[in-house]
A and B are shown apart, each in its own frame.
Chain A
Amino acid sequence: MKPISRRKFLELCAASAATLGLSQTLLPELAEALNGVLQKKPTVLWIQGAACSGCSMSLLNSVHPDLKALLTEIINLRHHPQLGGVSGQSALEHLRQAAEQARGKFLLIVEGAVPTAAGGNYCTVGVDAQGQAITFQTLVKDLAAKASLVMAVGTCAAYGGAAAAKPNLTGCKGLNALVDAEKLINVPGCPPHPDWIVGTLAHLVMYGRPEVDDFGRPKMFYGGVVHDNCPRRQYFDNSTFALTFGEPGCLLEVGCKGPMTFADCSLRQWNGGTNWCIRSGSPCISCTHPEFPAGSLPLYGRMERISFAGIKVTADTVGKLAGTATALGIGAHLAGNIIKGRVGILKKGVQRGGDTVDKTGAGPN
């Protein structure tokens, strides 16, 4: 017997941010709701590759439920290289055993990109009984084949991210290039908000796979655009732009990528509602974007200087773009730029934005 419906769950995930205006995050009710639902906590195995550990540090910031509640009540996290466990060959043996015991039933979480150049030698995670190095690439392939589902935590794991930026000497790839889309859920961000990680986990545990967008991101967290609910939105509408850091005004001229960024930061905020990039006067760098960081450079350059590989705005799509852009609430300044073809916006991204928010019931309405 599930104490709350999926619909209610999605409302909790989103509404907490929308109605309170600060991150009470996944409300305490959610943690309570989960308590008792689970007869048997599902096995989760977390591995790290070409990573900076930022995603794991972000996980520590989860408020409701906090890490302790997550581990005691929601999941059976049998492997996390940074949180604990044994070292040496027995660590990998323990990981192998856990995967065998829960074969076909466990969730694999991957943090960091997967280096594929030089036979994967740019990241080895240990040695086998013969003393041969085991590459992260081999580990990911082996475990992904045995997992019921794979969750890419962070932009590096999902799409390559900073680790795969040009010239990408190590041949880093995101899981989107290595794992079947049906088996993969992407939770990008540099790092991802802890609510996105824990909320996606909770959805998986209680209701199965959440609805995802064309880039494999759960719509309940990535369905809206940062620009939509930006606290500096009034400045944008009034054409008041900050030209120096620390000034009041919309941050578009100092590089904000909020209008092209699908994430709910403007409502959810970060670190338990303490602050977030735009509130602190810093432009959004679109860290949840599949093309981050390349697609966001120069970070402090106005968006119109940005171009995405393979995206061309044709006369035919301009109409649609302008229409959707209005629906999204992108104002006259940007719409003008789109019509002039100066802003490249991912075509799928824009089509997605308007309707998904309502369908999932997770939108701010």
Chain B
Amino acid sequence: MTKLVLAPISRVPGQVQIELEIEGGKVVRSKVAGTMARGLEATLKGHDPRDAQLLTQRICGICPVAHGIAAAQALEKAFGAAIPENARVMRNLLLGANFLLTNIYHFYQIALPDYVHSLPLAPFTPGPAITPTLPVQANAALVQHFLLSLEMSRTVQEMLAVFGGKMPHPSAVVPGGVTENADAQKVTAFRSRLREVADFIKNVYLPDVHTLAWYNPQAFAYGAGAGNLLSLGAYPLKDGLRGQPEFYFKSGRYTNGQPGEVDPDKIKEEFRYAWYEGDSFQSEKPGAYSWVKAPRYEGTAYEVGALARMVIHGHSGVKALGDKAFSAMGRHIARAEESLLLAGALDEWLNQLEPGKPVAVNLNPTPLAQGTGITEAPQGALLHRLEVKNAVIHNYQVIAPATWNASPRDDSGKPGPLEQALVGTPVPDTTNPLEVYRVIRSFDLCLACAAH
């Protein structure tokens, strides 16, 4: 048996360390550790509840919109505020733009260098040692698109700034709504950039993912994991305002092949193998190996992210993949298909903005309250729980997407989703475990979010 310790894992945001046991050319056991924690939840305590929304955004500079929206929702639920239609639409536009940004960024900047030779330019080189599977011309085209994706990152961030104020860390989502008004000029500014990005997704990103998949069929054969999926739902639709909210991306679970519903109250964080005792840090705790806790739904570990959303959404292209969707390559296809779907939806939602109508209501904070904010971040399910006492934040809890995906073993010793997905991955060369890196990066992990 060979033991490997992999750290740092370049290109993955935040700090992660992976320990592997390898037997017979395959991973038989893995440990995924988040090795950085900031303790941001504790910094919220004692402050004006309305500060939660901008402060929790600082958890992540890549998906700040999702944190801002989850926190704003938690506050609105706690204090009983119904946001105006324009605010609902604008938040969907902002979140959608953040999804496009992150999905494109993830594929080209984080995942692609495990498959193609990148630019011969520091810091991209020296890069991973790979044996190219793509013909020279296809490889060259993907490197060109890698550069193009940098321009797209900028364009999508501009698009987000149109209604968000700025990006990263947009300012415009506030408890009670948004601050930016809808007018024709801004709609045009958003739409012109959206069309450019949509064109890139349709004609470059999605074809590139399929090209990569075509030349790397073996990447459908590993990285499956247990196949249990969970989505909390995102993008509330107009009709959903009556009674139960209705979401464009529905909430749901997929357990051992069976669909099911989600009750957020059944999500619990376990920490037997994490450096915590309750909410307190325990950096010397014996047996613990990660700053990330282990969220579980009725004791089960669920994978979250685009694959979960597309399976639960019933996306035909992802469904057509069958079991192949649950793989290192399947996750990239789900992300690209989701991007195309969202680009179309954003174009329609843009028409729902009503210039001149209100964008925010005043919040009427009460001294004692609690609320939960649920949405999807690009990387997966996101949950914020807020407890207010004496008019200040008494407790705040964030369960981020990578808290699920990069979680350590739970109280019963069952491994987290990435730990499960790594088992069985072939390691033909222990000095260059390329397939392992491909599995790790097929999850859109953010370790800054995971431990926060």
A332–B358 alpha-carbon span in the complex (Å):
31
Q: Which of B122, B157, B169, B360 contacts A71 (CB 8 A)?
A: B122
List the 6 shortest-distance A-B pairs measured between CB atoms, nearest first: A54-B61, A280-B165, A281-B179, A282-B171, A271-B161, A298-B48
Chain B positions within 8 Å of A165 at CB level: 40, 43, 55
Contact: B150 with A282, CB < 8 Å? no
A293–B38 alpha-carbon span in the complex (Å):
14
User: Smallest CB–CB gap between B22 and chain A, Å?
Assistant: 14
Chain A positions within 8 Å of B358 at CB level: 246
Report how many residues on chain B are interfacial, defined by Cβ distance under 8 Å. Answer: 82
CB within 8 Å of A: which of B149-191? Answer: 150-151, 153-154, 157-158, 160-169, 171-172, 174, 176-181, 189
A71–B146 alpha-carbon span in the complex (Å):
15
Chain A positions within 8 Å of B151 at CB level: 66
Contact: B50 with A299, CB < 8 Å? yes
Asked if A356 CB lies within 8 Å of chain B CBs, one says no
Asked if A310 CB lies within 8 Å of chain B CBs, one says no
User: Smallest CB–CB gap between B204 and chain A, Å?
Assistant: 17
Given contacts A88-B6, A122-B36, A162-B58, contact A246 B360 (CB under 8 A): yes
CB within 8 Å of A: which of B8-46? Answer: 8-11, 13-15, 17, 35-40, 42-43
Contact: A299 with B54, CB < 8 Å? yes
CB within 8 Å of B: which of A72-106? Answer: 72, 76-88, 91-92, 94
Contact: A85 with B127, CB < 8 Å? yes
Contact: B150 with A66, CB < 8 Å? yes
A270–B147 alpha-carbon span in the complex (Å):
22
Contact: B165 with A275, CB < 8 Å? yes
Q: Which of A92, A272, A280 contacts B179 (CB 8 A)?
A: A280
Contact: A53 with B36, CB < 8 Å? no
Given contacts A271-B167, A281-B179, contact A87 B8 (CB under 8 A): yes
Given contacts A53-B446, A57-B62, A82-B13, contact A282 B174 (CB under 8 A): yes
Chain B positions within 8 Å of A82 at CB level: 10-11, 13, 109
Residue among B43, B58, B177, B437 with max Cβ neighbours from chain A (10 Å): B58
Chain A positions within 8 Å of B437 at CB level: 87
Chain B positions within 8 Å of A56 at CB level: 61
Given contacts A66-B154, A246-B359, A281-B172, contact A300 B48 (CB under 8 A): yes
Residue among A52, A123, A298 with max Cβ neighbours from chain B (10 Å): A52
Contact: B154 with A272, CB < 8 Å? yes
Asked if A138 CB lies within 8 Å of chain B CBs, one says no
Asked if B124 CB lies within 8 Å of chain A CBs, one says yes
Contact: B15 with A125, CB < 8 Å? yes
- Grouping DSSP codes into helix (H, G, I), strand (E, B) and loop, the A interface class, with mixed when no group exceeds half, is loop
Chain B positions within 8 Å of A60 at CB level: 150, 153-154, 157
A133–B162 alpha-carbon span in the complex (Å):
43
Asked if A200 CB lies within 8 Å of chain B CBs, one says no
Asked if A204 CB lies within 8 Å of chain B CBs, one says no
Chain B positions within 8 Å of A133 at CB level: 17, 35
Chain B positions within 8 Å of A91 at CB level: 8, 10
Contact: B61 with A55, CB < 8 Å? yes
Chain A positions within 8 Å of B124 at CB level: 83-85
User: Smallest CB–CB gap between B206 and chain A, Å?
Assistant: 22
User: Smallest CB–CB gap between B9 and chain A, Å?
Assistant: 5
User: Smallest CB–CB gap between A198 and chain B, Å?
Assistant: 13
Asked if A190 CB lies within 8 Å of chain B CBs, one says yes
Contact: B168 with A191, CB < 8 Å? yes
Asked if B448 CB lies within 8 Å of chain A CBs, one says yes
Contact: A52 with B61, CB < 8 Å? yes
Contact: A127 with B47, CB < 8 Å? no
